[in-house]
């Protein structure tokens, strides 16, 4: 679980992503060593923000040492998420 300072968007502005902190990302990468990798290095995850919980994947960010958690539009609206706010996020991963 972590608290993040808002989230990133892609260049088109259509997608939003919560950035997994570096320390947590390092642990995930360590756990993933020696395992078969999925496309783009994705890792299965169950995510939770407030009352919303969903199954997704996290993806390594090619510009930093972190993973990115895609935030569905449905979740952003249900939980009133918008650019620049702090959010509490928890993820459970499996390989």
CATH code where residue 8 lies: 2.40.30.100
Q: CA 42 to CA 86: how far, in whole Å?
A: 25
Q: How many domains does the chain have?
A: 1
* pLDDT tens, the chain, 95 aa long: 667 654 666 656 667 889 999 999 999 999 988 887 778 889 999 999 999 999 999 999 989 999 999 998 899 999 998 888 889 999 999 88
Which residues on neighbouring strands pair with residue 19, listed in sequence order? 68
Q: Which domain holds residue 35?
A: 2-94
Asked if residues 49 and 74 have their Cβ atoms less than 8 Å apart, the reply is no
State residue 76 phi and psi, 5-degree precision.
Answer: -60, -40
How many other C-beta atoms can be found within 10 angstroms of the C-beta atom of residue 54? Answer: 14
């Amino acid at each position: 679980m972590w608290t993040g300072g808002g989230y990133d968007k892609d260049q088109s502005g259509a997608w939003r992503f919560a950035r997994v902190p570096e320390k947590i990302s390092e642990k995930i990468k360590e756990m993933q060593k020696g395992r078969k990798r999925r496309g783009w290095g994705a890792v299965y995850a169950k995510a939770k923000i407030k009352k919303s919980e969903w199954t997704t994947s996290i993806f390594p960010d090619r510009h930093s040492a972190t993973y990115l958690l895609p935030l569905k539009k449905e979740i952003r609206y249900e939980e009133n998420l918008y650019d620049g706010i702090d959010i509490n996020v928890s993820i459970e991963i499996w390989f």
